[in-house]
Amino acid sequence: MANEIEEGRLSAAEYVDQLEAKYWSRQNVPPTQVVGALIYRQALRSGKMSIGEFGRLLKEFGSSQPLLSNLMMTFLFQAKLSAIFKALILDDENTGHVITSIPTTCIEHFRHPNAMAALTPHGDPFILVDAKFAACMHSMVKLLLHRARSTQQSGVASFSESSLLSDRDLAESLKRLAVYVFSEQQEALPHIPARETETFQIWGAMLVHGLETFIICHELAHHLLGHKGFAVEARGEIAELEGRVLSRFQEEELEADTLGAQLCYAVFEFYRDKDKAAASKVPPTWAQEIYATPDIFCTFLDVWERSWGMRWSSDRHPPGALRREKIRRTFSKLLPHEVVEFAKGIEAICESILATG
Ligand SMILES: [Zn+2]
């Protein structure tokens, strides 16, 4: 593969394709996931895939939970990125770079949950997202944001009487999510019985969209800022593959957070138009809480780090709490007061739940 890239025969998308196949074959994963890679490549090649077609292929090749979630995440994140490119007219005025498309891929089982702005050996950008990482974001939204929403609506600080999950159960659930994220053994997303999570689908979907948009915008920002990073020797990590998955200095991470949040806000602004959102297949911006998602993302990282007692990434991303502080300091005066208060409310809920656990 390295030679083909040296000779310029592989496009960035084809490179990502091969990277993924190689990764899967190296991991000794069950055949269903390799089948997942095949379906994924087929979909990429055809350029589009309807739900019907997706179902037909799944039926043909068999189905499994990891396969399904991996595929869905990949499609989801690629759609997110396409929506971002539609919303942002990226010029080289500030960045000196023009990027109009980047392949995205989801691979399970990074050593740590992560998303990465990576480069092919040729220097072409692509973005890698860990599927566990995204699945956990969904669960965190279900657990914490619903609690916050309910608290906000009822105006009651203590929610223990009307809530179906006690603080203690919530703390236990958070811990299990952190274990799932960090453990190399535990493969199945823990089932968390929480009837309270089922009643806020649309609002939750919008906030999940906000969080994922921030993840992608952060990685996009690394590319736009021309961050080169440096290769690290990290045992068992994907850095061993031919592509360059890099560690970066803390300062660069904070820069990517700042530009990433800025890009995010521009995207949310664009999708206030619900017709544009529908055309891009993303949730419209119909509640301003979505502007709190870059801040909330960092709070989630902080919760994981503290629940599990370790850093969420082995590279040099700063701790979640530090990243949140930088984002807050930079943007809190520019955002509506309610948005800032909402993000602080999430932090307060997390603090009290973590104290219980
Ligand atoms: Zn980064």
pTM score, whole prediction = 0.77
Q: Is residue 240 part of a domain?
A: no
> CA–CA separation, 43 vs 85, rounded Å?
20
First-residue to last-residue Cα distance in the chain: 49
pLDDT confidence of residue 199 = 41
Cβ atoms within 10 Å of 59's Cβ, excluding its own:
9
Residues 138 and 281 in one domain: yes
Element (H, E) at 116: strand 115-119
Q: Which position has the higher pLDDT, 237 or 303?
A: 303
Q: Is residue 298 part of a domain?
A: yes
Report DSSP state, residue 244: B
Reported confidence tier of residue 289, pLDDT bands at 50, 70, 90: confident
Residues 37 and 156 in one domain: no
% of the chain beyond a pLDDT of 70: 53
Reported confidence tier of residue 329, pLDDT bands at 50, 70, 90: very high
Residues 142 and 261 in one domain: yes
Q: Which position has the higher pLDDT, 106 or 139?
A: 139
Residues 223 and 261 in one domain: yes
CA of 308 to the centre of ligand 1 (A): 21
What average pLDDT score do residues 121-145 get? 76
pLDDT confidence of residue 103 = 77
pLDDT confidence of residue 141 = 77
Q: Is the pLDDT of residue 243 over 80?
A: no
> CA–CA separation, 121 vs 242, rounded Å?
7
Report DSSP state, residue 126: E
Q: Is residue 206 part of a domain?
A: yes
Residues 122 and 196 in one domain: no
CA of 84 to the centre of ligand 1 (A): 18
Residues 34 and 57 in one domain: yes
What average pLDDT score do residues 247-266 get? 90
Cβ atoms within 10 Å of 305's Cβ, excluding its own:
18
CA of 256 to the centre of ligand 1 (A): 6
> CA–CA separation, 314 vs 234, rounded Å?
8
pLDDT digits (tens, 9 = 90+) for 96-120: 556 777 877 776 545 556 787 877 7
pLDDT confidence of residue 244 = 59
Query: How many independent structural domains does the chain possess?
Result: 2
> CA–CA separation, 311 vs 324, rounded Å?
15
Q: Is residue 323 part of a domain?
A: yes
Task: Report the relative pairing of strands 104-107 and 125-130 from DSSP bridges.
Answer: parallel
Residues 20 and 114 in one domain: yes
Reported confidence tier of residue 157, pLDDT bands at 50, 70, 90: very low
Q: Which domain holds residue 176?
A: 132-228+248-356
Q: Is residue 239 part of a domain?
A: no
pLDDT digits (tens, 9 = 90+) for 53-104: 766 766 665 555 555 666 667 777 878 888 888 888 765 555 555 677 787 7
For the chain, the helix, strand and coil percentages under 3-state DSSP, each to the nearest 5 = 65, 5, 30
pLDDT confidence of residue 240 = 40
Residues 164 and 107 in one domain: no
CA of 199 to the centre of ligand 1 (A): 33
Among residues 65, 73, 105, the alpha carbon closest in space to that of 188 is found at 65
> CA–CA separation, 334 vs 141, rounded Å?
24
What average pLDDT score do residues 349-357 get? 78
Q: Is residue 67 part of a domain?
A: yes
pLDDT confidence of residue 16 = 67
Which of these three, 76, 110, 130, is where a domain ends? 130
What average pLDDT score do residues 201-227 get? 85
Q: Is residue 286 part of a domain?
A: yes
CA of 333 to the centre of ligand 1 (A): 24
Average pLDDT along the chain: 72
pLDDT confidence of residue 113 = 60
Element (H, E) at 246: strand 246-247
pLDDT confidence of residue 336 = 93
Reported confidence tier of residue 159, pLDDT bands at 50, 70, 90: very low
CA of 47 to the centre of ligand 1 (A): 28
Q: Is the pLDDT of residue 22 over 80?
A: no
Residues 19 and 109 in one domain: yes
Residues 124 and 136 in one domain: no
> CA–CA separation, 350 vs 332, rounded Å?
20
CA of 194 to the centre of ligand 1 (A): 32
Cβ atoms within 10 Å of 272's Cβ, excluding its own:
12
Residues 106 and 194 in one domain: no
Is the separation of the CB atoms in 350 and 299 below 8 Å? yes
Q: Is the pLDDT of residue 269 over 90?
A: yes
Residues 71 and 153 in one domain: no
CA of 311 to the centre of ligand 1 (A): 14
CA of 219 to the centre of ligand 1 (A): 6
pLDDT confidence of residue 235 = 47
